[in-house]
């Protein structure tokens, strides 16, 4: 699974470490500055489920469907 973290440098470091408590973190990219005058950065994290760290029963749960909403109309789900 690949995730993009966006925030301050400290926030991204903290969240990447927290992800390591549940997932096997395969790689964390170097920080990329956001465009424009933003003070935030982006970090890309690649992780896998780690059966030893994942609570029992969470890997085989049925996929929950949701409904996506846009300000002006309801969108059909995937």
How wide is the angle at C-alpha 62 spanned by C-alphas 67 and 53, nearest 5°?
A: 115
Q: Whose CA is closest to 17, among 1, 5, 32?
A: 5
Give tens-digit pLDDT for 34-73. 999 999 999 999 999 877 766 666 555 555 566 655 566 5
> How many angstroms separate the CA atoms of 19 and 3, rounded?
10
Q: Where along the chain do its domains lie?
A: 2-54
User: Assign residue 15 a region: left if phi > 0, alpha if psi is -120 to 50, beta otherwise?
Assistant: alpha
pLDDT digits (tens, 9 = 90+) for 5-22: 999 999 999 999 999 888
pTM above threshold 0.95 = no
């Amino acid at each position: 699974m690949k995730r993009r973290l966006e925030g301050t440098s400290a926030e991204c470091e903290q969240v990447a470490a927290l992800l390591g408590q549940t997932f096997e973190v395969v790689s964390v990219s170097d920080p990329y500055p956001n465009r424009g005058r933003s003070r935030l950065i982006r970090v890309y994290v690649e992780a896998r489920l780690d059966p030893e760290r994942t609570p029992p029963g969470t890997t085989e749960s049925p996929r929950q469907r949701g409904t996506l909403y846009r300000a002006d109309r309801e969108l059909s789900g995937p």
